[in-house]
Amino acid sequence: MNYLKLKEIEVEGNPFDVYVSDYRGEFVVVARGAKPSDHGAIVASEMVFDKLLPVMKRKSKEAKTRVEVPFCRMDHGVLRMGVARGIHASKGTVLVTWSNGDKDELEKYSHDTFEIPPQDVIEKANELAKAVLAKREDLAATEKELERVLKPYAQRPDIYARGADRTATIKERVAAAIAGTIAAEEKPPA
C-alpha cells in the first residue's frame, strides 16, 4: 500500500506526520520522520481527517498517564510479583516491572496472571508448583525409559520409511492374516 504525505501536525508539543493511503483514502499519523510502512509506526488512523485530532489528543494523554497494576504470574515454578505500568504504544504489549527491578513486556495479560494473594497462599502455590515441575520431570524420564524399552519392538508405519528394516508392519501382518484366511477358505477340500 502506498502513502502520500499530506501535512505535518503538532499535538501537545509532539510532532507528527499525516499520510493518506492511496488504497482506501485512510488518514494515518506517524511520528515525525517515520514512514507508515515501517512496522509499528502508525500511531493513529481514521477514515475522516477531522477525527484524527481528537484521537491524537487522547493517545497523547494515554502516553503521559502512569499507572501501577500489581499482579503475579507463575514462571518456571515460582510465583513472580510484578507491576504492570502501561501498554506499549505500537506493539500493544503490557509493560512490566518485576519485584526484582527487571523490566519486561508480556504478550498477554489474562490467563496466566493473578491478583497478588496473601503470603500463605504464595508459599503454598510455590510449593505446589515445585511439585508439579518435579512430577513433569519424572514423567519425561519415565516416557523416555518406556520409549527405550519398546524401541526394539517398534513397527515402521510404511514400507518406504523403514529402509533396511524388513520387519512386517502391523498393516502388513493384518493383510497377510486376511489373505491367509481367505486362501484357507478358498482352498478346495481334498
pLDDT per residue over 10-28, tens digit each? 888 888 889 998 888 889 8
Q: Which residue has the higher pLDDT, 115 or 142?
A: 142
Residue 169's pLDDT is what? 67
Backbone phi and psi for residue 3, each to the nearest 5 degrees, phi listed first: -125, 145
Domain ranges of the chain: 3-64, 66-145, 155-190
Q: Which residue has the higher pLDDT, 110 or 47?
A: 47
Calculate ∠ Cα 115-118-124, nearest 5°.
100
| Whole-angstrom distance, CA of residue 168 vs CA of residue 172 | 6
% of the chain beyond a pLDDT of 90? 21
pLDDT digits (tens, 9 = 90+) for 98-109: 999 999 888 755
Q: Which three-class secondary structure state does DSSP give residue 157?
A: coil
pLDDT of 148 above 70:
yes
Q: Contact 85/91 with Cβ under 8 angstroms?
A: no
> Which CA distances in Å does 59 have to 8, 12, 19, 55, 79?
17, 10, 18, 6, 33
Determine the distance from the C-alpha atom of residue 132 to the mean position of all C-alpha atoms in its chain, rounded to a whole number. 22
